[in-house]
Amino acid sequence: MVNYPKVVVTGASGFIAKNLRKHLSAKNIEFISISRNDFKKFKCESKIISNYFDEKNLLTKIKNSDVLIHLVGIGKQSVNTDYHIVNTGLTNYMVNLSKKAKIKKIVYLSGLGVSSNTSIGYFISKYNAEQQILKSGLNFTIFRPSYIIGKDDYFTKYLKKQVKKGEIKIPGSGKYSIQPIHIDDVVKIIFKSLSEEKFKNKIIDLVGSETITFEKYVKLFSKGTNTNIKKINLEDSYHNAITNPKSDFGIDDLNILIGNFQGNHTKLKKLTGMKFESVMKLLESGRLL
Ligand SMILES: NC(=O)c1ccc[n+]([C@@H]2O[C@H](COP(=O)([O-])OP(=O)(O)OC[C@H]3O[C@@H](n4cnc5c(N)ncnc54)[C@H](OP(=O)(O)O)[C@@H]3O)[C@@H](O)[C@H]2O)c1
């Protein structure tokens, strides 16, 4: 029988965390979730509401848990929140707090395309967060996900909104590719990483089986609806991202989208032994709309 660990989840009201918490609860895993905002608890869940991960409030509550799943992150900067503070700084902070709490392992979601050669600000902050974890001496599993797709992810919500308005804008040619992975598969893999030895101290690409151009993705997504697909000059897209804080795509959203980042799905399939959801089939079925 597998002896499941006691788990702590940060960023509890985020997209991945919500789906993961539901899964942990369904598996009867005891877990503690931390968020800045109040939220409804699942079965087997304890909650901590904390604005600044204040040590006094947290330490005794999370002490002697086994695994921290750190799901705090931002993909857009402002003068109030920047990548360095949130993505790198809070990871570093949680690594140190985990050590004090005698937590043995950290699971972290980085990003597909993160590497020591990157010049993208978002990826640099993720790379530096990874380095904090590698240096910590804690056991770890670091995942580098592509676009994670479900009913309530940002990408899908954004496209749904565009479909409602009757027009989807594609920055540039749309010929660049993404390798989406379904949230249910992501949650299952994170769950496996909590107890299976083969995930220990690895950095793993989290990518689906299909590589698909953005143009094709958008066409399939909006199939059967009355949606006009409009290509926007890339220079105009970047100009909008730079000058309009409310633009659909931020600068790094564009960098990542057109970056053509690819991962090794075969390796992931072998490691997990799982059968993966086909995001293409999901798109074709119209179930994401
Ligand atoms: N979704 C994807 O496709 C994808 C792909 C690659 C990597 N990732 C990474 O996976 C992680 C989770 O992603 P997600 O899609 O679930 O993102 P999300 O829905 O935006 O959730 C991120 C959570 O981070 C917490 N957070 C944000 N800013 C914070 C701040 N200043 N101080 C403290 N907490 C803050 C919030 O938690 P509370 O509101 O609960 O406090 C927020 O809900 C992130 O690190 C992200 O970069 C996601």
Name the residue with the closest Cα to ligand 1, atom 45.
Answer: 73
Distance 141 CA to ligand 1 centre (A): 17
Structure confidence at residue 2 as a pLDDT band (50, 70, 90): low
pLDDT value, residue 29: 94
Q: How far, in Å, is the centroid of ligand 1 from the Cα of 172?
A: 27
CATH number where 126 lies: 3.40.50.720
Report yes or no on 43 lying in a domain: yes
Q: Which domain holds residue 22?
A: 7-145
- Rounded average pLDDT over 125-154: 97
Residue 23, domain member (yes or no): yes
Q: What is the pLDDT of residues 165-215, one digit of tens each?
A: 999 999 999 999 999 999 999 999 999 999 999 999 999 999 999 999 999
**Phi/psi zone of residue 193: left (φ > 0), alpha (ψ -120 to 50 degrees), beta?**
alpha
205 in a domain, yes or no? no
For range 2-7, the mean pLDDT: 81
Of 24, 9, 169, 207, the residue nearest 94 (C-alpha): 9
pLDDT (0 to 100) of residue 137: 97
Please give the pLDDT value at position 288: 87
Instruction: Give the mean pLDDT of 67-91.
Output: 96
Ligand 1 centre distance from Cα of residue 225 (Å)? 31
Under the banding of pLDDT at 50, 70 and 90, the label for residue 286 is: confident
Q: What's the whole-number mean pLDDT along residues 86-112?
A: 98
Beta bridge partners, 181, equal 148
Residue 246 CA to its chain's centroid (Å)? 21
- In this structure, the residue with its CA closest to atom 17 of ligand 1 is 14
The verdict on residue 50 lying in a domain is: yes
> What is residue 4's predicted lDDT score, i.e. its pLDDT?
76
What residue owns the CA closest to ligand 1's atom 33? 72
Residues ≥6 apart with Cβ < 8 Å to 172: 231, 232, 233, 234, 237, 258
Q: In this structure, is residue 33 part of a structural domain?
A: yes
Residue matched to tokens 């056991």: 139
Is the pLDDT at 260 greater than 70? The verdict is yes
pLDDT above 90 for 156? yes
9 bridge partner residues: 33, 69
Each as own residue / partner, the long-range contacts of residues 230-233 (CB below 8 Å, 24 or more positions apart, any chain) are 230/167, 230/168, 230/169, 230/170, 231/169, 231/170, 231/172, 231/173, 231/174, 232/169, 232/170, 232/171, 232/172, 233/172
pLDDT tops 60 at residue 162: yes
State the distance from the centre of ligand 1 to the C-alpha of 178, rounded, in angstroms: 20
- Is residue 116 included in any domain, yes or no? yes
Distance between CA atoms of residues 15 and 148, nearest Å = 10
Domains in the chain: how many in total? 1
Which band of pLDDT confidence, cut at 50, 70 and 90, is reported for residue 289? confident
Q: Is residue 257 part of a domain?
A: no
Is 273 part of a structural domain of the chain?
no
